[in-house]
């Protein structure tokens, strides 16, 4: 039922923006986003979309008592949320460029031929790891919500972080980069795009 309401809202937005859609070649012009700042997406209607990024935790490596405790506290956590929210799971390409640059520096400084051979093998493995063949990604988890009042936003973020901490799960408020990555996943098939933007 909620999905149908969301589709209807998108259709209404599309029909209201027919002139914009016809005159613009950028999807950003018909998406109702005014700005992304301070870890929040500001919408045209005055609402803000924000939330938390949840650090993954493998409960299956815990002993049975700890595992049951985490599950029980997560049940309490979800039951305390009394407003509409979205669980978003997004994939981000793994970035090992820093590791690669350190390997390249090590290769340049190393004088021993045998060590240089091992280092170049590691560089080649890392480059293959980053290629399309493996498609390695970090999976990230978010809890997002929509609200107009800033004091309510801060209270909800605090309560979400504290509630997950009770379940021994770490979380932080989403950053601007997190929100852009989520939008890229939905709008551009996970590709970061820069066309239609002005670089300063």
- What is the model's pTM? 0.67
* pLDDT score, position 96: 81
Q: Which long-range contacts (CB under 8 A, 24 or more apart) does 30-38 make?
A: 31/187, 33/183, 36/176, 36/179, 36/180, 37/176, 38/176
The domain tally of the chain equals 2
Give domain status of residue 32, yes or no: yes
CA-nearest of 41, 42, 45 to 177 is 41
pLDDT at 12: 53
Chunk the chain into consecutive blocks of 10 residues (it has 200) and report each block's average pLDDT, rounded to whole numbers. Answer: 46 48 63 90 94 92 93 94 93 80 89 89 82 75 96 97 94 94 75 46
CA distance to 14, 159, 173, per residue, from 51 (Å): 26, 11, 6
Q: Is residue 38 one of the residues assigned to a domain?
A: yes
* Nearest-angstrom CA–CA distance, 80 and 70: 15
In a domain, 82, yes or no: yes
d(CA 80, CA 69): 17
Whether residue 36 sits in one domain with residue 107: no
CATH at residue 178: 3.30.70
Name the residue range of residue 145's domain: 2-18+26-92+140-187
């Amino acid at each position: 039922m909620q999905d149908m309401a969301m589709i209807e809202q998108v259709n209404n937005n599309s029909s209201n923006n027919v002139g914009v859609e016809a005159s613009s070649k950028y999807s950003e012009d018909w998406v109702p986003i005014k700005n992304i700042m301070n870890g929040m997406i500001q919408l045209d209607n005055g609402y803000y979309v924000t939330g938390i990024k949840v650090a993954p935790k493998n409960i299956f490596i815990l002993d049975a008592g700890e595992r049951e405790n985490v599950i029980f506290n997560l049940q309490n956590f979800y039951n305390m949320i009394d407003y509409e929210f979205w669980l978003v799971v997004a994939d981000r390409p793994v970035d090992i460029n820093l590791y690669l640059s350190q390997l390249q520096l090590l290769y340049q400084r190393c004088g021993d031929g045998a060590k240089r051979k091992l280092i170049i093998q590691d560089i080649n493995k890392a480059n293959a790891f980053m290629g399309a063949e493996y498609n390695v990604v970090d999976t990230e988890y978010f809890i997002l919500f929509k609200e107009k009042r800033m004091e309510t936003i801060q209270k909800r973020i605090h309560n979400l972080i504290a509630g997950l901490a009770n379940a021994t799960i770490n979380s932080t408020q989403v950053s601007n980069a997190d929100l852009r990555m989520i939008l890229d996943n939905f709008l551009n098939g996970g590709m970061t795009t820069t066309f239609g933007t002005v670089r300063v």
